[in-house]
Amino acid sequence: MAEGSDTTLTTEQIAPAGNLIAGIKSFADGHGGAKAVIEYVGRRGARIVLVGEDGTWDDQFANSTDVARRACETAGVEVENEWERELIEQMRPSNDLWRSMGRRTLAR
């Protein structure tokens, strides 16, 4: 990936366990609760996609899927095994995200 790409992940971006738990808990508290889906991203670890009860979503990165599951469990966030229709329908992408996705498609 090109430098500056939003899909480039460096090890500095992977939160230490304490910060990871605090970030997950903070997101859940700020959005009326949350559910998580954990995605394996190879040697880089795992991506935790958090979906708030209000439809807002965010992601965090962990060193492995095991670390991600433990962090979610400790933060009191339920982990879904896969993307269920109800969870996807709950997500509300921001206007900024729609614009950035449009630019990526047009740039190809």
Per-residue model confidence as pLDDT tens digits over 19-47: 899 999 999 999 899 989 998 988 889 98
Domain boundaries, position 38? 13-107
Please say whether the beta carbons of 74 and 55 come within 8 A.
Answer: no
What total of structural domains would you count in the chain? 1
Q: Which residues contact 76 (CB under 8 A, 6 or more apart)?
A: 25, 28
The mean per-residue pLDDT over the stretch 37-59 comes to: 88
Please say whether the beta carbons of 39 and 49 come within 8 A.
Answer: yes
6 is a domain residue: no
5 is a domain residue: no
38 is a domain residue: yes
Please say whether the beta carbons of 28 and 76 come within 8 A.
Answer: yes
Strands 78-80 and 34-40 come out as parallel
Q: What's the pLDDT score for residue 90?
A: 66
95 is a domain residue: yes
39 is a domain residue: yes
Please say whether the beta carbons of 44 and 88 come within 8 A.
Answer: no
Q: What's the pLDDT score for residue 61?
A: 92
